[in-house]
Amino acid sequence: MSENGPDLERIFETWIAGYDKGSLEQVLSVVDPTAVYYPPFYPAKDFSQLKAWFATDFERSAPRPHWTYKVEFQAVSGDLAVAISYWTGYSNFGTPKQAEVHRFRSVDVFKLGADGWKIVRTVNGANERPSPKAKAKPKAKAKVKVKAKARKKPKARRKK
């Protein structure tokens, strides 16, 4: 629905399905050729660098994570939109058990063009969301004990 902004579910699910299949074409189908990606702990990547990065990722034999997301915020102004979402990557490492391996907050900027809404900027920040299983622990109050030395009263001297 172009007039209402990007269909984030369609865009993100297209990306996830492409990533799960290792389809470079499908992953990049939601990204504009002018896009810049800012991953955590790595330098920014333009479209060609992003394409090479995913190609390398898809060539490796190790299991890749499966991604899930939750959209927290979306705003649209004309042909621009921004979305803030939280992403979690899970992997089973080739075993029956599944583990959370990545977690980050993503800020995506979309632009409406001839091919529909595409991602033009993505900024990801690592581990910015607490695990859903983690419970907030109350902060411990600082206990500072100051022992004052009790002064003994001097004994009264007897007069002789």
pLDDT digits (tens, 9 = 90+) for 14-56: 999 999 999 999 999 999 999 999 998 889 999 999 999 999 9
Q: What are phi and psi of 98, to 5 degrees?
A: -115, 140
* Local confidence band at 72 (pLDDT 50, 70, 90 cut-offs): very high
Domain enclosing residue 54, as ranges: 2-126
Give the domain CATH number at 28.
Answer: 3.10.450.50
What pLDDT was estimated at residue 144?
46
What pLDDT was estimated at residue 135?
41
* Statement: residue 8 has pLDDT above 60: yes
- List the Cα angle 154/156/157 in 5-degree steps: 120
134 found inside a domain: no
What pLDDT was estimated at residue 14?
98
67 found inside a domain: yes
Whole-number Å distance between alpha carbons of 111 and 127: 27
What pLDDT was estimated at residue 159?
62
98 found inside a domain: yes
143 found inside a domain: no
Number of domains in the chain: 1
Q: What is the CA radius of gyration of the chain?
A: 27
What pLDDT was estimated at residue 3?
61
Residue 112 burial by Cβ neighbours in a 10 Å radius (0-12, 13-18, 19+): middle
